[in-house]
A and B are shown apart, each in its own frame.
Chain A
Amino acid sequence: MTLRTVVVDDEVLPRQRVADLVRGDARLELVGEADDGRSALDLIVEQRPALVFLDIQMPELDGFQVIAALDDDVLPAVVFVTAYDAYAIRAFEVDAIDYLLKPVNTDRFDAAVSRVATRLGASPSQSETAVRSLATRASESRATPIVRFVARRGAKHYFIRASDIDWIEADGNYLRLWTGDRSHLVRETMKVAEERLDESRFVRIHRSTIVAIDRIASIQAQDSGDYLVTMAGGAKLTSSRGYADRIRGLLR
């Protein structure tokens, strides 16, 4: 049985090189190529490949963000392909994650495919957990503020700009972003959202709620010491203990 494989790289020639190697390998079957992070997400959800060769440095959405945005059930085995990224390479070595350095040569490509094939035959989940946790760490450690989130409808992924968000609620392992009367399910943690959203524009009012400050219609103190926050769209949200002082900070 061959492994259904996807190749992702924003540049044509480097991507073609990996695609050539995949085509030349009897153990693999090339089912698609993507030239940016968003189309990579669509392709993976649509094709459900067993293996993806994923470039890390891409504009808009990098390799780690692609992994972070994928649900567990569609997360394939990942071999990162990188030109030069000291941080990533160190992380790969620590977590024993498969990666290839550009320019990719046939021998190393063969070795990586062999490792993946062996692993998929034995215990598939182990390495994928490592990849997932690395992607989460990479996303948490990034200092730049979040400008947009990636959400999915069916097999299609799309961006939601942070400036369009009214409020955010935690929903299991996901976040539900409310924009107007629509909501979008995003694979992200409350922690990352709180730390990396612009703190002058968003405030966390509850263990599982973050609101956009300029979309708040009114704030009403309750007898319990909590606050009732009414959003411009009419949604009524309650603050929880421990977050009430952040609201008081807003009112000051």
Chain B
Amino acid sequence: MADRPARRSDTRLLWGVAIAAAVLSLLTFVASRFVPALPVPRGSLPRMRNPPNSAGEFLRSLGVGSLIWYGCFAAAPCFVWLSRRAPVDRRSWKVGVATHLAAVVVFALITAWIQYHLSYHSSPLAPPLADYLEVGLIADALPYLTVAVAAHAIDARTRVYERDLEAARVRGELAESRLEALTAQLQPHFLFNTLQGISTLIAHDPPAADAMLSDLSDLLREVLRRGERREVSVDEELRVLESYLSISRRRFGERLSISVSRGEDVRQALVPFFVLQPLVENALHHGVGSHAGPATVAVDVRRDKQTLVLSVKDNGPAEHAPDAGRGIGLANTRERLSGLYGDAQRLDSGHSPEGGFTVRIELPFRESADDLGVR
């Protein structure tokens, strides 16, 4: 609402300028037709504005002189467009400056050429065109240059504003994705049960409560810090997993034994951040949580030629084949992997005949993030 009246007065100004320019053009045209041109002495350059010695002469000078402002008005949109196409910025300033200068010269020459014809319309006294253009170019280039600089300055300011806006949007998305990562990767159920576990230990075993609290803090810190990154090295991934496992050992007590192994050549290989934790959580819940007696979970990361193989195996009961609960846990992982690697990944899972459940993931083996263009 507030900018409407302003816009209307802008339009009115525009019309005013256009009408004034048109009137001036008309006067110039009329004057150049009926007023004889002044002679230019041989060998000397023509002057842009001769001292007027008649009303007609005055009008013509005015018309010819104002043509440049008329031209600037017409050239402004062109320079705005140019400042986007060939911006004078740190990266391509040479091309930008050259393009702008070329445009300035072209506009100045066109203007001078028109001015020449207005001043010496079919007059026998006309100086050579080349001479006139030489003078006209110098006189007309400066206003066009001013327009070019102004257009660029205004556009640069707009772009800074747009960049700020974009940066704010990206920051928002990043925060959102971190939150999503937190809830997707650290089940709220796990989080609150761990907190309740700590509150139990405070009464019974304060040092254990202390240790569990710092494990949980480490884990939260890692997730918050890494949530924005899609991939981390196997070493980093296993370090985060260790905080999680340390909490889990306290949750499930004596009967849980967890082993983690990896090949020596996979330490720097890239894996999706926190890919192992949901699989281990799944194994703990369905494999360990659902039956009494000692439980084992084995995590292994290995290289097989150009493939990185991650596996999580538990010794849970093999009884019910179509286990819905396990499927849901894996669906998220499956979706995430296909989002990151498309068809270059594989996720297999199943009950072993001798009991237990294994999830096996195959990823393209990469040590640097550049190959896939992944951040």
Contacts and interface: CB of A to CB of B under 8 A. Distances in A.
Interface of A: 10-14, 16-17, 20, 36, 57-60, 83-84, 101-105, 144-145, 147-148, 161
B325 interface: yes
Contacts of B295: none
Nearest to B287: A59
Given A20-B203, A147-B322, A60 B290 contact: yes
A20 to B, nearest CB: 6
Contacts of A17: 196-197, 199-200
A16 B187 CA distance: 21
A57 B195 CA distance: 16
A114 B253 CA distance: 33
A244 B276 CA distance: 51
Contacts of A58: 289
A59 B199 contact: no
B292 to A, nearest CB: 8
B193 A20 contact: no
Q: Is the interface of A mostly helix, strand, loop or mixed?
A: loop
Chief secondary structure at chain B's binding surface: helix
B285 interface: yes
Contact of A102 (B193, B286, B323): B193
23 contacts: A11-B197, A12-B252, A13-B193, A13-B196, A13-B201, A14-B193, A14-B196, A16-B204, A17-B197, A17-B199, A58-B289, A59-B286, A59-B289, A83-B190, A84-B189, A102-B195, A103-B198, A103-B199, A105-B199, A144-B324, A145-B324, A147-B323, A147-B324
B324 A83 contact: no
Contacts of B252: 11-12
B259 to A, nearest CB: 21
Given A20-B203, A59-B290, A147-B324, A83 B189 contact: yes
Contacts of A145: 324
Interface string B192-215: 110111111101100000000000
Contacts of B250: 13
Contacts, number: 70
A174 B196 CA distance: 37
Contacts of B169: none
A15 to B, nearest CB: 8
Contact of B251 (A13, A57, A104): A13
A103 B190 CA distance: 11
B191 A14 contact: no
B236 to A, nearest CB: 27
Contacts of A102: 192-193, 195-196
Contact of A59 (B197, B198, B322, B325): B325
Most buried by B among A11, A13, A144: A13
B189 A57 contact: yes
A83 B285 CA distance: 15
The 4 closest A-B pairs by CB, nearest first: A13-B197, A84-B188, A83-B192, A17-B200
A103 B196 contact: yes
Residue in B198, B200, B201, B289 with the greatest tally of chain A CB atoms within 10 Å: B200
B191 A103 contact: no
Contacts of A11: 193, 197, 251-252, 289
B289 A104 contact: no
A103 B198 CA distance: 9
Nearest to A61: B290
B200 A13 contact: yes
A103 B192 contact: yes
A83 B320 contact: no
B318 to A, nearest CB: 14
Contacts of B323: 147
Contacts of B197: 11, 13-14, 17
Most buried by B among A14, A20, A57, A144: A14
